[in-house]
Chains A and B, each alone.
Chain A
Amino acid sequence: MARLSEENVRLAKEVIARYPRARSAMIPLLHLAQEQDGYVTNEAMAHIGDLVGATSAEVYGTASFYEMFKFEPVGKYLINICGTMSCALMGAEDLMHHAEHRLGVKLGGTTDDGLFTLERAECQAACTEAPCLQVNYRYRFRVTAADFDALVDDLKAGNLTDEVPAHGIVARVRQQIPVDRGVGAVPPEDVTEAPTWMAEKAAL
């Protein structure tokens, strides 16, 4: 429950500076907020609105379009089991059933220890490896019930801490774009000439 921390505000300002319009930084900042608290808090959305010059409602409207942003606390590990065609044919339904029993929560629920949240996902683009799942968006392929149990045990034991960071951390390596390496995007209202490709096309 918090606004962005001082360090994150510094990062946010760096991200905002990469875009000709501050609002364009809204999604990266939402990821930053989710990284900070594990989910996107109302306070963080209001703070982001202040930072990019949008109302809280606009930030919420944008954020809620995306499944990846959570507005309520989720487990440290978010498990998404694919339920689309290939995975469904290869036993995703049974896997889900097993997962519910193993974790002791219904689909969409979070375990009492706050470690696991179980969700169904649409196609994760690994149809050849069905049934598949993701833990905090890290893949597991051709998952059997035994694989699932092993995964849960490993996560609980902390054996996978290097591979799977806590929910909200999209990547451990933060993108750094020095000011002199930015593309130097021009605000749309300042564009006075036709784009260069148009001239090239006309020359053909």
Chain B
Amino acid sequence: MTTTESTPAVVVDPDAVNLTINGRAVVARKGELIIAAADRNGDYIPRFCYHPRMSSVGMCRQCLVEVEGPRGPMMVVSCMTSVSEGQVVRTETDQVKRAQEGMIELLLANHPLDCPVCDKGGECPLQDQAFSHGPGESRFIEEKRHYEKPIAISDLVLLDRERCILCDRCTRFADEVAGDALIHFTSRGNNTQVQTFPDEPFSSYFSGNTVQICPVGALTARPYRFKARPWDLEKTESTCTTCAVGCRITLESSRDELLRYQGVDSDPVNHGWLCDKGRFNFESLKSDARLTNPLVRDGASLVETSWSSALSTAASLITSALRAGNPSRVAVLGGARGTNEDAHAWAKLVDALGIDSVDAQMGDGLPSAVLTYPQATIDDAAHASTVILLSPDLKEELPILYLRLRDASEKKRSRILEFASKGSGLTRYAWKSVPYLPGNQVAVVASTLSEPAVSAQMAKGSVVVVVGRSNLAESDEYNMAALDAVMAAHPGATVLPVLRRGNVRGALSVGLGRRDAVDILTDAANGEIDCLVLVGADPIADCPDSDLARRAFAAIPSIIAIDTFATASSAKATVLLPAAAFGEKDGTTTNLEGRVTRLARKVTVNGTSRPDWMVALELADILGHDLGAASVADVHADLVSSNPAFGPATRVALATHPDGVVLAAPATGATTSFAPPPAEKPGFAHRLVVGRKLYDNGRNVAESPSLARLAPGSALHMHPLDLERLGAPEGASVRVSGDRTSIVMNVVGDESVQRGTVWAAWAQSGANIGELIDATKWVNDVRVESLR
């Protein structure tokens, strides 16, 4: 773009196409569909199957329009016909209306018209368009087609085949967008129906999207069925903070209860899609296990008390810890689960108190230095000619980023070069997937990048490196050193850090990443921390080294926790303060690419819960520090004025840019030097790889009844040939031993696991793999013995 906004645009666009729609001149883009051009021009053409984020199929025939042709006007399907120069389109002639009414009459011939008991009634495109574009009555008197209704096609989604109009939206989504073609049209003619394969459910992580895009009430989601009528729902736009992708959503509530999230089409982020975890975990907000009142420890139990007494107890714990020595005896962990304002208020408080032992990650992420590399956005990655993955399995951790990269690969925009110690969701879409043994990542990356085919590919265009913590049982320095190896080979590359927690980027950007949590916990275990403050953090569950976390907690005399639930960590607190959860507080959040978007409060807080920022201000007040803010707006204003990175994220900017504002680039060029030693081959042992599954026993899954049962549970994954050599049958119990202890797990064969390694999922019910991880080691090896 060389023209500035002030110069009038007299640019002849070679891609411009001039046509007339309903008598008005329209400029469209070459290749644009008539229906899309009409949409932009304000002429609504009724449709059921057309969806702008999927390929057109011309299935429903509802979008017929009249186009002037050499032999007079003719009817064309506007979702399958591109614009052309001089085209004359009419969307509202008598002929078009006759066609539209005919189509509606046919679609309704078999439709049960059970709108009064249908969840979709009131927001149903078929209902709405039957009124706006239908004939008003039907000539059909025949018996309608009958099917069993509804049938469960997965744990979350139910299908009513009588209501289905066969628009191909859900099946197209499953195939084209999600890459999980587990539902398909079956049979033919009048018997055509959407079905799964017998006994193979539609267990896609993205199944909820089919419910949202279904233009009738055929697909319904179990968590929302019969919970509300659309006209009772109040909607507010917000941002999902389940993971760090930051998908735009609407929060929909009725009678002060959140009942549904729907995806909003944000072009730079989620394209309207959501993962099922993000879509359905609203259930956890109304869990009975939520904390409602402040609790203070009295002996072995926690006793309810008032906020004022709990806060003064908390303040006195901090004061006495500070008095006991210096600020180094107080530590603060967390801040990545809240808003930017929460994090900023806490950052100001720890500044005021001079505390340095602060981390928003639990030793399960990457050093915050990763934010000092030249940064890429999600769009940059999805349009890069080469995407290099030094990341965990994105399908499991950041599902919508997986969709964006999968799309980039499927549409041939990008080639994915993956480095992984276990096959991931993106492996089948990768141009090249290079396996490495944990500990050897750096050498493998360096030698692969020196291959002529790879360097030729990287020279073709932009290169984006997606970097995250790929293995919890391996030092994070390997990922950083591998990143350095890529940057050395290709200095022009940009970096998309994929840290996992909802607002981890915000928390790190406001300064809540000062020391590594593993170091802090090690200090604590050595008795050097007197008071630990947990701001929505659960180190016992999240720190990869479970033994370290346990020893640390046993040694810390006083713990102050602010949390929505009594977690493994917060249940050990001296003072436990109930926190306002997502949907209960206003503010802003920062996604993994540094995009700041608004969060909305939709429902009243649970019990007497308070947002984290408020707790910080109140504690500061009692401790004699004035943080200069009294409301979330004050905290935001202070953040924008005091932190140059947040400079562009003003209230006005956020209000006028619903897709958010990307943080100003952080100071780059900080030299990092990570030189972890290459690890020896494990000999008779197996090298341990620990990753995540989308569904785990984290609070917001475990407290959402619909999702809790989807967590796979703990198991040791092993290459089938290693399993054979071990002599244990699939599913058998095996003893897995590290240097400290051993645990018993069930073993399963998994071809995505490399030989010589074993893989286990983090945070699953059953045996805890964290018992075998020693965070002081570069890599962790385990021995596996059959118990038979």
A55–B184 CA distance with the chains assembled, in angstroms: 10
**Interface contact B187-A54, CB-CB below 8 Å:** no
**Interface contact A57-B196, CB-CB below 8 Å:** yes
**Interface contact B184-A61, CB-CB below 8 Å:** yes
**Interface contact A65-B187, CB-CB below 8 Å:** yes
A190–B188 CA distance with the chains assembled, in angstroms: 33
Q: How far is the CB of B153 from chain A (nearest CB, A)?
A: 10
**Interface contact B197-A65, CB-CB below 8 Å:** no
Contacts of B185 in A (CB 8 A): 61
Contacts of B328 in A (CB 8 A): none
B195 touches which of A45, A46, A55, A61 (Cβ 8 Å): A61
Q: Provide the A5-16 mask, 1 if CB < 8 A to any CB of B, else 0.
A: 000000000000
A8–B180 CA distance with the chains assembled, in angstroms: 28
| A64 interface contact, C-beta 8 A | yes
Q: Provide the B719-749 mask, 1 if CB < 8 A to any CB of A, else 0.
A: 0000000000000000000000000000000
| A35 interface contact, C-beta 8 A | no
In A16-50, the 8 Å CB interface with B consists of: 42, 45-46
Contacts of A45 in B (CB 8 A): 197
Contacts of A137 in B (CB 8 A): none
A56–B198 CA distance with the chains assembled, in angstroms: 9
A60 touches which of B175, B180, B186, B188 (Cβ 8 Å): B186
**Interface contact A58-B187, CB-CB below 8 Å:** no
Task: Name B175's closest neighbour in chain A (CB-CB).
Answer: A58
A64-B187, A65-B187, A65-B188 are known contacts. Are A42 and B182 too (CB-CB below 8 A)?
Answer: no
**Interface contact B184-A57, CB-CB below 8 Å:** yes
**Interface contact A46-B187, CB-CB below 8 Å:** no
Contacts of B200 in A (CB 8 A): 46, 56-57
| Chain B residues within 8 Å of chain A by Cβ, number | 16
Contacts of A60 in B (CB 8 A): 184, 186, 195, 197-198
Contacts of A65 in B (CB 8 A): 186-188
**Interface contact A54-B181, CB-CB below 8 Å:** yes
Contacts of B184 in A (CB 8 A): 55, 57-58, 60-62
Contacts of B183 in A (CB 8 A): 57
**Interface contact B197-A55, CB-CB below 8 Å:** yes
Q: How far is the CB of A69 from chain B (nearest CB, A)?
A: 11
**Interface contact A55-B181, CB-CB below 8 Å:** yes
Contacts of B186 in A (CB 8 A): 60-61, 64-65
Task: Name B189's closest neighbour in chain A (CB-CB).
Answer: A65
**Interface contact A57-B182, CB-CB below 8 Å:** yes
Question: Among A57, A60, A62, which residue has the most Cβ atoms of chain B within 10 A?
Answer: A57
Contacts of A57 in B (CB 8 A): 181-184, 195-197, 200
A58 touches which of B181, B188, B198, B199 (Cβ 8 Å): B181
In A58-82, the 8 Å CB interface with B consists of: 58-62, 64-66
Task: Name A61's closest neighbour in chain B (CB-CB).
Answer: B184
Contacts of B180 in A (CB 8 A): 55
Task: Name A56's closest neighbour in chain B (CB-CB).
Answer: B197
A55–B202 CA distance with the chains assembled, in angstroms: 11
Q: How far is the CB of A63 from chain B (nearest CB, A)?
A: 9
Q: How far is the CB of A142 from chain B (nearest CB, A)?
A: 30
Contacts of A42 in B (CB 8 A): 197-199
Q: Provide the B200-240 mask, 1 if CB < 8 A to any CB of A, else 0.
A: 10000000000000000000000000000000000000000
A55 touches which of B182, B187, B198 (Cβ 8 Å): B182
In B537-565, the 8 Å CB interface with A consists of: none
Question: Among B183, B195, B198, which residue has the most Cβ atoms of chain A within 10 A?
Answer: B198
Q: How far is the CB of A121 from chain B (nearest CB, A)?
A: 14
A66–B187 CA distance with the chains assembled, in angstroms: 7
In B135-192, the 8 Å CB interface with A consists of: 175, 180-188
Contacts of A62 in B (CB 8 A): 184
Task: Name B202's closest neighbour in chain A (CB-CB).
Answer: A57
Task: Name A65's closest neighbour in chain B (CB-CB).
Answer: B188
Q: How far is the CB of A109 from chain B (nearest CB, A)?
A: 19
A56–B201 CA distance with the chains assembled, in angstroms: 11
A54–B195 CA distance with the chains assembled, in angstroms: 15
Contacts of A54 in B (CB 8 A): 181
A116–B196 CA distance with the chains assembled, in angstroms: 30
Contacts of B181 in A (CB 8 A): 54-55, 57-58
Contacts of B195 in A (CB 8 A): 57, 60-61
Q: How far is the CB of A1 from chain B (nearest CB, A)?
A: 13
In B641-687, the 8 Å CB interface with A consists of: none
Task: Name B181's closest neighbour in chain A (CB-CB).
Answer: A55
A42–B199 CA distance with the chains assembled, in angstroms: 10
A58–B185 CA distance with the chains assembled, in angstroms: 8
Task: Name A63's closest neighbour in chain B (CB-CB).
Answer: B186
Q: Provide the A90-117 mask, 1 if CB < 8 A to any CB of B, else 0.
A: 0000000000000000000000000000
Residues of A within 8 A of B (CB): 42, 45-46, 54-62, 64-66
A-B contact pairs, 12 of them (CB 8 A): A45-B197, A55-B184, A56-B197, A57-B183, A57-B196, A57-B197, A57-B200, A58-B175, A60-B186, A60-B197, A61-B184, A66-B188
Q: Nearest 3 A-B pairs (CB), nearest first?
A: A61-B184, A56-B197, A64-B186
